[in-house]
Amino acid sequence: MTSFRIKPALLQIHSVLGLAAALILSLLGITGAIMGFEDEIQAGLNAKLSHVAPRTEAPLSPAELVARLQADPALGKVSAITLSRDPLAAVRVRFARNEDGGRSSSLLVDPYFGRVLGEPRGEAFFTTVRHLHRWLLLPGDGNGAGRQITGAAVLGLVVLLITGLVLRWPRRAGSATLWLKPQLGLNGRGLHRSLHSVIGTWVLPIYLVMALTGLSYSYAWYKDGLTWLLAPASSGASMPGKAPREGRSGPADAKPVALDLVWATLREQIGDRFAVMQITLPTGVGTAVRVRTWPSEAHDGRRDEFRIDGATGRLLAAERYADKTVGERALARILDIHRGSILGWPGQFVSMLAAALMPLFGITGVLLYVSRRRLRRRPEPARTIQLAPGE
């Protein structure tokens, strides 16, 4: 009897919260599904552009490559370069934004001659989708209202999952058929309710993982809590030598970076033990160069990170994935957990499908709410109306 008194209140919470967050959650689901295989799609789109002919000579060092690119003032200031151990792979070079924002963000470059091969296809599209997913394209990006709105919607998703599970709980909880088999032979409200509840049960664990990991990108307090829980030894600590955020500092404020010294330190630290390396140059007044290396072509959380003084080549800090605890590895791979890629392409595919199904719950939820309102306003005594417990 107590559960039947609680369920009407939970149904009200579930309905109101679902209606309020349906549009945002549907948008997050669609954009998340689009980004599910972003790396693979971009690799396919740029298969020809991102490879060069075999050469006998050694590729240019990062310092030589940047020097050749900076010789052309039309390209702008190099902010990062991503190179591969594959001798046939082109180098991806990202440039600092111009004030007018009218230039492409990155280019593919021949690693042997520094010749520009072209702009990567699909990059601008996926950048827009990513900003829509994280910040709804609202002003301020990560510091604006969009981040708070998406965070609130994801918090709402957690409440929807919990209340939905309680409302769905059948009398025969051990029956797999009741839990997992949709009643596709029904029509109207019955079909909508079956799709909403049964498919919701299928994807509930996936959505819960997505929500609990995605919140770390919206709220600093949540991220700090995860760090305290999973890696208390590193709670509150950050890698020293991190360059300040890009500001409006003029060229006179920027200090020269000796990439040849940085490269020498990297060769000493890791040698050839990497598949992909990303070197990010300082954009403000500092000289700390951030370097990330991956053991495979996948840009996942299994990476080593270094901070190197760009003026002297001195190693400021190093974080190696192999030295991390289990909790620290989980934090490092939180994005891989969020999108399912930590389980390989099968997990990535299942997560993509689950994300693509998000609009289904918004649509069926609205239809159920409208039909429930109609049934309550126009009761038909001669007809037996079957409502779910709490309705």
Residues facing residue 304 across a β-bridge: 293
pLDDT band at residue 104 under the 50/70/90 scheme: low
Angle at 290 between CA 284 and CA 294, to 5 degrees: 150
When pLDDT is averaged across residues 2-11 and rounded to a whole number, the result is 78
Instruction: pLDDT band for 251, please (50, 70, 90 cuts).
Output: very low
* pLDDT in the model for residue 169: 84
The residue type of 118 is G
Mean pLDDT of all residues belonging to the chain: 88
Residues 288 and 310 sit within 8 Å (Cβ to Cβ): yes
Closest to 279 (Cα-Cα) out of 262, 269, 265, 291: 291
Q: How confident is the model at residue 28 (pLDDT cuts 50, 70, 90)?
A: very high
Report pLDDT for 384: 53
CA angle (141, 142, 147) in 5-degree steps: 100
Is residue 98 packed enough to be buried (19+ CB in 10 Å), middle (13-18) or exposed (0-12)?
exposed
pTM of the model as a whole: 0.87
Do residues 349 and 357 lie in contact, with contact meaning Cβ atoms separated by under 8 Å? no
Helix axis angle, 2-34 relative to 123-135, nearest 10°?
160
348's CB contacts (< 8 A; 6+ apart) are 36, 37, 339, 340, 341
Q: Would the pLDDT of 99 be above 80?
A: no
344: three-class secondary structure by DSSP:
helix
The single-letter DSSP state of residue 95 is E
Whether pLDDT at 312 is above 60: yes
Per DSSP, the residues of 248-279 read ---TTTPPP--HHHHHHHHHHHTTT--SEEEE
pLDDT of residue 252: 46
**For residue range 32-89, what is the model confidence (pLDDT) as tens digits?**
999 999 999 999 999 999 999 989 999 999 999 999 999 988 888 899 999 999 999 9
Q: Which two tokens stand for residue 107?
A: 């280019």
Contact 361, 21 (CB under 8 A): no
How large is the average pLDDT for residues 332-351? 96
Q: Both tokens of residue 280?
A: 């990010």
Q: What is the pLDDT of residues 117-162, one digit of tens each?
A: 999 999 999 999 999 999 999 998 888 999 999 999 999 999 999 9
Residue that has been written with the tokens 């990303």 in this structure:
278
Count Cβ atoms below 10 Å from residue 20 Cβ, excluding itself. Answer: 13
Q: How far apart are CA 308 and CA 317, in angstroms?
A: 7
